[in-house]
A and B are shown apart, each in its own frame.
Chain A
């Protein structure tokens, strides 16, 4: 890991940490949602970007983290910080279990993607049916502002916490990418059979990637639960989060350290900007951000196959020449 890999990212996050000085609460709220999606996307990036195992079902991890934090607090009186830690561990466990079942069965590519989607959907239906998860009524975490409860009276404090977690994962990703595990992940992504022939334990590598990916995305779920204090099956295990993390990574540049963060901020930022701009011209246009998501994805796939980060790198190379 070199300073060049992480410095731009840390500088960006540092700048965002100053946002509470100028931004309104509504803007901070928006920034918080974007960063939580960015964190979940960082998790996806490890598995989908570095290890090349495309998942359509990261909601399975997001929801597990979110429900774990909520259920532990509500039903067992566990402290929210401990809930966060257990939620992250459970995310890793669910990741490992899904990985064990599907990688052992040698599922790859679109088959693996469909199986992850199926796991997330099964969890959604179960969460909707059982009393433990509050059924269709969902779970409401009691509002009790206080640092001990992982709830903060001011949005700024929560924003700083999320920024710190995103920064930590950024450093972790850069460290992995620069180390042995990163090399193994890329080897498996590029050609699994060749990697195995060279002595890489592909199953172990992939299981490590999916467990870590699950843990990071579960952390995003925990923070989401603590921020909104309300969960139901469609929020926690709904396809929306699976889709958003995927688009954020593709748009920002999957398999890059900073890509998911840039992608998530760009995606949400563009959606919000379009809503505000169009509302100024033609009155509110419902659903315009969703139209824009689709258009951005098409543009990214057509013109920036390696995302914003890939495009920037290409531009830098062009300038250097």
Chain B
């Protein structure tokens, strides 16, 4: 038989609990969903994995700090989508993320994926923050929903030429002759063309421009050509596999120019290259995306990546910063409302990121403060050598005195 007192107490308890429920619900507001679009399978899977890792670390950081303050501490929930390394799949995944009700999308990595996915997102006025994609078209189309936090192709190449001239002048102009080796796609060809017109204006002589296809399985002919041309400086613009092959072939054939100066290179700012082929990587310079090496949060993030067994790449700090930028915009908007988030991003002066950019300021979707840095492989590590206020090492240039 049931004791009536116990029953009464239980009912009272349950009633009190029910009354308290709304308070509990208020204390845990609905999570805000942010879409993370990365090429997780296919040719770009390595980059996509790093991008996702960075985004996840940012969400964990925000949630550990108490979530989104303006939304009563709402947690950030990431919805990860796989762009399968092609733009069509990227655009299709945007539809899925739209179905999931995300407040914004971060990522894309490759320019074609970013172009197609941001346009698909524009149909729904869904904010899209590009993590890496450098093609200038991305922000020149006038899509109100698209923002790029990192620098575009034009900004990177201009900085690359300026920094090279300063570097060379600073060392007493040791390099006069240059050979350009480039992949025959968008980056390589565009960059080689730009270098071939800009460098002669500053006293450099471009001896030859050597294109190669991607993928290329043999670099012996290019190495032999370099041996006969004997340039002071080599400017390569290739993807990971091809540049590693070229650097190794040059090492084997003992071809040592005074400097290797890469721009947006797939390997020169990649720890896998540095760890697996330390001899070939030594002294290689790159002008690329990189985190502020003195930022405490960036140092902690790198330690977390090391613990997780990831080779560090710029995808991690960029996606980390982009997710934090979106979270900040949601906070500024005061609601998980897409139109308000777009307004908040457009007016954002966010400085809580870990890139050496200063406060964010978007003009036509492009972050004006964004800039690349110069890195160099020194003592089995990747150091920032330029600009001076960010640098954590002095350039070793020329490599052979």
Main secondary structure of the interface of A (DSSP, over half): helix
Does A173 lie at the interface of the complex (its beta carbon under 8 Å from any beta carbon of B)?
no
Number of A-B contacts (CB under 8 A): 67
Does A29 lie at the interface of the complex (its beta carbon under 8 Å from any beta carbon of B)?
yes
A: residues with CB less than 8 A from B are: 24-26, 29-30, 33, 128-129, 135-138, 140, 142-143, 228-230, 232, 234-235, 284, 286-287
14 contacts between A and B (CB under 8 A): A25-B98, A25-B99, A128-B185, A136-B185, A137-B186, A138-B115, A143-B143, A228-B87, A228-B88, A229-B119, A230-B116, A235-B88, A287-B42, A287-B84
Q: A33-B92, A230-B115 are in contact. List 19 more A-B contacts (CB 8 A).
A: A24-B99, A26-B99, A29-B92, A33-B88, A128-B185, A129-B184, A136-B185, A136-B186, A137-B186, A138-B112, A138-B115, A140-B137, A140-B141, A230-B91, A232-B112, A235-B86, A235-B88, A286-B45, A287-B42
Kindly state the separation between the CA atoms of A240 and B187 in the bound complex, as whole angstroms: 24
Chain A nearest Cβ from B121, distance in angstroms: 11
A residues near B112, Cβ cutoff 8 Å:
138, 230, 232
B residues near A128, Cβ cutoff 8 Å:
184-185
Does B135 lie at the interface of the complex (its beta carbon under 8 Å from any beta carbon of A)?
yes
B: residues with CB less than 8 A from A are: 40-42, 45, 82, 84, 86-88, 91-92, 95-96, 98-99, 111-112, 115-116, 119, 122-123, 135, 137, 141, 143, 184-187, 189
Kindly state the separation between the CA atoms of A128 and B211 in the bound complex, as whole angstroms: 14
B residues near A33, Cβ cutoff 8 Å:
88, 92
B residues near A284, Cβ cutoff 8 Å:
82
A26 touches which of B96, B115, B123, B189 (Cβ 8 Å): B96
Nearest-neighbor residue (CB-CB) of B140 within chain A: A140
Nearest-neighbor residue (CB-CB) of B45 within chain A: A286
Contact of A232 with B87 at beta-carbon distance under 8 Å, contacts A29-B95, A137-B186, A140-B141 already known: yes
B residues near A140, Cβ cutoff 8 Å:
115, 119, 137, 141
Chain A nearest Cβ from B191, distance in angstroms: 12
Chain B nearest Cβ from A273, distance in angstroms: 15
Chain B nearest Cβ from A133, distance in angstroms: 12
Contact of A230 with B119 at beta-carbon distance under 8 Å, contacts A136-B189, A137-B135, A235-B86 already known: yes
B residues near A30, Cβ cutoff 8 Å:
92
A residues near B99, Cβ cutoff 8 Å:
24-26
Kindly state the separation between the CA atoms of A235 and B87 in the bound complex, as whole angstroms: 8
Chain B nearest Cβ from A118, distance in angstroms: 16
Contact of A137 with B82 at beta-carbon distance under 8 Å, contacts A228-B116, A235-B88 already known: no
Establish whether residues A137 and B137, one from each chain, have CB atoms under 8 Å apart when the complex forms: yes
Chain B nearest Cβ from A234, distance in angstroms: 7
Nearest-neighbor residue (CB-CB) of B98 within chain A: A25
B residues near A286, Cβ cutoff 8 Å:
40-41, 45, 82, 84
B residues near A229, Cβ cutoff 8 Å:
116, 119
Kindly state the separation between the CA atoms of A24 and B96 in the bound complex, as whole angstroms: 9
A residues near B143, Cβ cutoff 8 Å:
143
